[in-house]
């Protein structure tokens, strides 16, 4: 997951999450065109939080998979 959605910054080696939209609105029309036109932002919480939750779920999956062998 980190190879696709996150990368390490040169210098301080911090993990940076890419590909999140900077803004979003509940009053938008919700079309692909709307979301594709929104600027991308680094480490926006609308992307980081789901990434952290999905990473944790993936780790649990791998842990349970190895226990059931």
Each residue's pLDDT tens digit, 25-64? 777 787 888 878 888 888 888 778 888 898 899 999 999 9
Residue of 6, 43, 50, 53 whose CA lies nearest to 21: 43
Mean pLDDT, to the nearest integer, of 7-21? 80
Residue 62: the pLDDT is 93
- The whole-angstrom distance between residue 49's C-alpha and the CA centroid of its chain comes to 7
Mean pLDDT, to the nearest integer, of 13-24? 77
Residues 40 and 22: their CA atoms lie apart, in Å, by: 5
Residues 21 and 1: their CA atoms lie apart, in Å, by: 18
């Amino acid at each position: 997951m980190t190879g696709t959605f996150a990368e390490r910054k040169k210098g301080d080696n911090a993990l940076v999450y890419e590909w999140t939209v900077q803004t979003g609105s509940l009053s938008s029309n919700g079309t692909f065109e709307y979301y594709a036109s929104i600027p991308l932002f680094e480490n926006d919480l609308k992307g980081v939080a789901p990434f952290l939750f999905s990473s944790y779920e993936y780790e649990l999956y791998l842990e349970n998979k190895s226990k059931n062998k």
